[in-house]
Chain A
Amino acid sequence: MSESRLERRFAALKSEGRGGLVTFTTAGDPDYDTAFEILKRLPDAGADVIELGMPFSDPMADGPSIQAAGLRALDAGMTLRKTLQMVSDFRAADDTTPIVLMGYYNPIYSYGVDVFIKDALAAGVDGLIIVDLPPEEDDELCEPANAAGLHFVRLATPTTDDARLPKVLTNTSGFIYYVSIMGITGTKAASGDAVRAAVTRLKKHTDMPVAVGFGIRTPEQAAEVAAVADAAVVGTAIVERVKAGLSPDGIAGPNLVEGVVGYVASLAAGVRSARQG
């Protein structure tokens, strides 16, 4: 494929000599309009790559915060079709910030794999992270997505040893997402040394950019990760800012969007303060 938005973005980060900030928010949390408002403002707040969560009723690899975000979105009527619509709406004003959809396979399988790939490309989606599709199931979605020009970004974890890593990297493109802990999202953080060692190990196997996530909550932690990896991924802590901005009756409060965007800006400042050596 010709150079994609993701490839251009990581190349730009490299030439700036800094790590990037990858943000995760759940599409439709707490409602379509509010989530879209947040999405539109993420690039100016400093998000280099956007991960947009596709809500699922049974998110097995996610902690309580992201589970709750998905349920809020579903309760407000979010669907996969509307998630694609949101990306399409976003692309009307921003044709450069990469968007990676993240979620679980069943809603896509239910939508129809071929139709989904076509609609995702048409909406302006750049890549997919599907938590419950390991390399062993590559013929389901990964191979047709790659063939159609959608990046299939894979997770690597501390349990992915050197013997298995090549299998995980095969068919992965765009970047590799290193999950720095064994566990679900948002529970704990890895030490800086552990992250550095892991990135070094991954880099021996691939030239792809390495983004590191799970457990990053503060601008300082984001800076620490961005100093050794190509990007830091922050999800749970952002989603918790959405929750904090809800009014007592559970709908979006007046300061929700500002709270989220301001927090992302602080993370971005942290990441930009960390020069890579």
Chain B
Amino acid sequence: MTTPNSYTTGPDERGHFGDFGGRFVAETLMPLILEVEEAYNAAKSDPSYQADIDYYAKHYTGRPSPLYFAERLTKEFGGAKVYFKRDELNHTGSHKINNCMGQILLAKRMGKTRIIAETGAGQHGVATATVCALFDLPCVVYMGATDIARQAPNVFRMKLLGAEVVPVTSGTGTLKDAMNDALRDWVANVESTFYIIGTAAGPHPYPAMVRDFQSVIGREVREQMMEAEGRLPDSLVACIGGGSNALGLFHPFLNDTDVQITGVEAAGHGIPSGEHAASLTGGRPGVLHGNRTYLLQTDDGQIKDAHSISAGLDYPGIGPEHSWLNDIGRVQYVSATDTEALECFQLCCRLEGILPALEPSHALAHVRKVAPDLPRDHLLVMNMCGRGDKDVFTVAEALGVTI
């Protein structure tokens, strides 16, 4: 594959990043997808739309999030200078709100009167329920029954925020099934409803739109690192489920080819075990949820269940732009296991006083692997994309502690 002149021109007008992406949806949804695309293109060129996003980012979400030098972890690893982009400090506790704000402002512009969403860990569901409360729109969140059981605090938060949480029992009762049921809802309610997809996946224009909303993360890092160190970082690390926090950090740096970029997938019980959520490492290209991308699937093209201790990474696919960045080699994709993530969750608590979500704990596991061998002037930025309060029950159970 040839190296493109720019890594940031995609997708094309049909929503393709190289071979990936596209619009693989039922005819009932197709006119709506086109309507969303048209509305988003119009909004992008309307200064008042961006002004609204900026206003709520500053006064409601709490942006910019800090770029924090993790001094004790840096000392512990004994190599690269480790910085955290603190998106876990956002209102609602993760990067998810960046995207939800952009989409609900679009839904309002389109005159939609009802919001639906899917959620895995519950972070996207909480963020969606939050903006629905803020803008007074009814909210229905589809969540796998398995995830409901392991993310009880977030389920209750969504209900407090006024959302209806619908348990999904079809399939395996996890994120992919929640997305199936959200799409089924949308097919039945196309006229009134806007579907706020939580990650940079799904049919065009969602992957590009979600990436645009999350790119605020990387844009801030550029400025903040210039301020802190007078230059750009040497490397970036982020965890990947669907991959929206990672793309948000990576995208503004893709054309800075000296910046080394690494995405960390969830290896669950280990790639050889087959029980993991590493679509790039352990999957192959296929078509699901409206886009072509790497998927965990059987020889017959049936979608396999993903496994990760982190509900937010427990998805058998990945955003199409990541599949493209993988194939052209601009971003390196690796994985970290449940056990490694759990170790780094605890390490981060003890050394930095930060409870990371289990999702970025996977990113930290990779940082722990590479930082010791990097020079001390190497600037590494890891996206701390969510806080771990929601995960304390899961972690306690994994550690055999009753609380």
Contact = CB atoms under 8 A, between A and B. Distances in A.
B28 A157 contact: yes
Interface string B299-318: 11111000000000000000
A276 B297 CA distance: 47
A211 B95 CA distance: 47
Interface string A237-260: 000000000000000000000000
Q: Is the interface of B mostly helix, strand, loop or mixed?
A: mixed
Interface in A26-55: 55
Interface string A149-190: 000001111111100100010000000000100111001000
A105 interface: yes
Contacts of B32: 159
B187 A109 contact: no
A200 interface: no
Interface in B1-50: 14, 22-32
A106 B31 contact: no
Contact of B302 (A56, A136, A161, A182): A56
Nearest to A168: B27
A185 to B, nearest CB: 10
Contacts of A184: 184, 187-188
Contact of A137 (B22, B188, B300): B22
Nearest to A111: B301
A161 B191 CA distance: 13
A158 B187 CA distance: 11
B173 interface: no
Given A80-B301, A182-B28, A187-B188, A60 B289 contact: yes
Give the contact-size bracket for chain B: 35 or more
Contacts of A158: 28
Contact of B27 (A111, A160, A183): A160
A136 B23 contact: yes
B153 interface: no
Contacts of B225: none
B290 A58 contact: no
B26 A131 contact: yes
Interface centre among A80, A109, A179 (most CB of B within 10 A): A109
A164 B34 CA distance: 11
Interface residues of A, number: 45
A134 B23 contact: yes
Contact of A60 (B31, B180, B300, B302): B180
B302 A74 contact: yes
B52 to A, nearest CB: 29
Interface centre among A80, A134, A168 (most CB of B within 10 A): A134
B295 to A, nearest CB: 8
A136 B205 CA distance: 13
Interface string B176-206: 1100100110011111000000000000000
Contact of B25 (A132, A161, A164, A179): A132
Interface of A: 55-61, 63-64, 67, 71, 74, 79-81, 104-111, 131-137, 154-161, 164, 168, 179, 182-184, 187
- Give the top 7 A-B pairs by smallest Cβ distance, nearest first: A110-B301, A107-B301, A183-B188, A57-B302, A157-B28, A79-B300, A61-B26
Interface of B: 14, 22-32, 170-171, 176-177, 180, 183-184, 187-191, 285-290, 292, 295, 297, 299-303
26 contacts: A55-B302, A57-B302, A58-B288, A58-B289, A60-B187, A61-B184, A64-B170, A67-B170, A109-B292, A109-B301, A110-B300, A133-B24, A134-B24, A134-B27, A135-B30, A137-B22, A155-B26, A156-B27, A158-B28, A164-B31, A182-B188, A182-B190, A182-B191, A183-B187, A183-B188, A184-B187
